[in-house]
Amino acid sequence: MGIKSIIPSQVLNSNGDPTIKVTMVAENGVSDYFTVPSGASLGNKEVAQKTDGTESYNGKSVNDSIKLIAGVVAPKFIGYPIGHQSDFDSLLVALDGTENKQNLGGNTILAMSGAYFKLSAKLSEKPLWQYIAEDRKTNPAFPRIFANLVGGGKHAPGLDIQEFMIVPKSNKPIEAIEQIVQTFHTLTTIMVSLYGPGAQLSGSEGAIAPIGASTEVVLEALSNLNAKNGKTFEIALDVAANSFFDGKSYNFEGQSIHASDLLAVYQGWDSKFDLYSIEDPFAEADIEGTELLKTMPKDKKPFKVIADDYTVTNASLIAEFSKDKLFDGVIIKPDQVGSISEMFTAIDAAKQAGLDVVVSHRSGESNDDFIVDLAYGIGAAGIKIGAPNHGERIAKYNRLLEIQYSLNSSQEQLDSTLDLGQKPTATPLESSAGKVATMAVPTPVEKISVAPSSVSDNTISPKISASEPVVVASTPAQPNESLASPAQPSEVSEIGAAPLTTEATPADPIQPTTPIITHLATVPPETPMPSLPKEPEVPSGSSFKNATIALTPTARAAQENPSTAVLPVSGL
Ligand code: PGA
Ligand code: ZN
């Protein structure tokens, strides 16, 4: 079964910014899609995300990428057999030809790679998580949810810390999600009572942003709520320290402090509020901070240290940092590295180093819920999906629930067909986790040889309207095709300028070794991305930058009927 058509389109993410969606259709008409997320607080070594840099959407439109996919990238993969992810990704990476994916853009590569992966799973007629588990030979297990309930940093005005999360101790979605929602609503009511109705407004991950609150007040509220509820969750922070590091010191809550002071602050919070984990406690460029991490106990730190900006889903960086055991866990975000195969390589590197894998959304999201099946399929330790607020976050919460319900109901069916004596002793979740099979590799389709002249005039047509999806049909590359053959990197080095050819030179088959992608980004972009117009200053307290203004249901009720707003937590 091969790819029949590829439809790229520019759609909006949850911040109202353009992003790339690729829909891929198989020859039997089955289709699937991938929508690329994007972050606001970026690690320096994330791969490049290409935007047009024109007036359209303040520089953020991706029309050039849509044309590039339609005119150059997609034609190479029409007819390409489904289910050969590493070959497919190797071709994409070779077509780009740069360390940081600046030619095609990590966003183009991920849109293609993700759509191909999801389509392969769909054609297997298995749930995505099961396809992942069989393909990667992993044991599915529900991740613990890292639910961001209060936001700041680059996600919302007010607090310097980017994310105040709760992590329910139960990994069972039905149980954990109810705890998260109840805590979120109660916390919102408390913040409204302390800081007024503005405290219920939410930032880009759906977390509330109480203007006027200090870090300690939020931590105390969470800690008191936890005590009241029988310590059913733990408290975690994503400090995203890059965002308040000026190259020398940290501008934190009105003071300029050094890494050692910041560590003392963290230790103080930990002794008062018992922190489970801190993500990116120091800026990746802060040598003093990195040295301090080395002084912390390797095996039993007071709280887990999680790396995000330091490691950016890059297998080499993960391996490098794990030598010194600086971190206890790593964040995995597919768009930080670009292709699905490289993301899996990073996951493998983390697992090999004994690190917790925490799969994560981005602040700019869509309703695409791929990361949930990914986290469950690989048995990740955790998943970050924001607050239970805003449709694109709810999509992830609901997918977790759906997976658990589907397992429960298939277990019920199984139970009803078994004798009592044969009943499995494991719980439904445990028994499903044991079922790991090996994916059958489909036979590649026969190679089609193409006379170069038949495709050499396949340039980007000026008639392609960027706002309309474009269906492309051409001649495929083949699995295991020589990476250099489809196009030389130089052919795409001036995207949007010179005509781009899509010549598909048949290559000699390569024997069954799986190509390993070596183009992991370890250096910052050589060419700066187009500079975007400066965003207008947001007057404090009037509206939120990059934020959707929304009232949580509890806050809405409290606002409509203040007399019913009960403060269940004392001692604030
Ligand atoms: P981002 O934030 O998606 O805006 O980068 C998430 C994070 O830092 O974990
Ligand atoms: Zn982070």
Please give the pLDDT value at position 51.
98
191 lies in some domain: yes
In a shared domain, residues 102 and 201? no
How many angstroms separate the alpha carbon of residue 364 from the centre of ligand 2? 13
Please, where are the H alpha helices in 32-172? Answer: 63-68, 85-96, 106-123, 128-136
Please, where are the H alpha helices in 331-477? Answer: 334-337, 340-352, 370-378, 391-417, 428-433, 452-455
Q: Is 117 helix (H, G, I), strand (E, B) or coil?
A: helix
234 lies in some domain: yes
In a shared domain, residues 145 and 202? yes
In a shared domain, residues 176 and 54? no
How many angstroms separate the alpha carbon of residue 366 from the centre of ligand 1? 14
Residue whose CA is at the smallest distance from ligand 1 atom 6: 362
Please give the pLDDT value at position 492.
38
Residue 295: how many CB atoms within 10 A of its CB?
8
In a shared domain, residues 67 and 142? no
pLDDT per residue as tens digits for the range 540-560: 333 333 333 455 555 555 555
542 lies in some domain: yes
> Catalytic positions, please?
205, 333
In a shared domain, residues 195 and 66? no
How many angstroms separate the alpha carbon of residue 363 from the centre of ligand 1? 6
Number of domains in the chain: 2
**Overall pTM surpassing 0.85 (yes/no):** no
Average pLDDT over residues 81-95: 98
Decide which of 385, 403, 421 is a domain's last residue.
403
In contact, 104 and 20? CB cutoff 8 Å: no
In a shared domain, residues 168 and 316? yes
Between 110-124, 167-181, 330-344, 439-453, the lowest mean confidence (pLDDT) is in 439-453
pLDDT per residue as tens digits for the range 206-233: 999 999 999 999 999 999 999 999 999 9
Strand order in the sheet with 18-26: 3-12, 18-26, 31-35
267 lies in some domain: yes
Between 235-244, 291-300, 563-572, the lowest mean confidence (pLDDT) is in 563-572
Decide which of 403, 431, 449 is a domain's last residue.
403
444 lies in some domain: no
Decide which of 403, 435, 470 is a domain's last residue.
403
In a shared domain, residues 173 and 269? yes
In a shared domain, residues 177 and 43? no
In contact, 181 and 189? CB cutoff 8 Å: no
Best substitution site from 162, 309, 337, 365 to test ligand 1's pocket, by max atoms within 8 Å of Cβ? 162
How many angstroms separate the alpha carbon of residue 52 from the centre of ligand 1? 22
In a shared domain, residues 284 and 364? yes
- The residues lining ligand 1, judged by C-beta closer than 6 Å to any ligand atom, are 39-42, 154, 238, 240, 308, 331, 360, 362-363
Q: Is 507 exposed, middle or buried (0-12, 13-18, 19+ CB in 10 A)?
A: middle
pLDDT-based confidence at 415, cuts 50/70/90? Answer: low
494 lies in some domain: no
In a shared domain, residues 143 and 119? no
Which structural domain, as residue segments, surrounds residue 315? 136-403
> What number does the ligand 1 atom closest to the CA of 364 have?
3
Ligand that comes closest to the CA of residue 336: 1
> Domain holding 203: CATH number?
3.20.20.120
Best substitution site from 46, 308, 310 to test ligand 1's pocket, by max atoms within 8 Å of Cβ? 308
> What number does the ligand 1 atom closest to the CA of 38 have?
3
In a shared domain, residues 86 and 183? no
> Domain holding 22: CATH number?
3.30.390.10
58 lies in some domain: yes
Residue whose CA is at the smallest distance from ligand 1 atom 1: 39
Q: Greatest CA separation found in the chain?
A: 78
483 lies in some domain: no
In a shared domain, residues 120 and 225? no
Please give the pLDDT value at position 408.
86
- 3-state SS record for 450-466: CCHHHHCCCCCCCCCCC
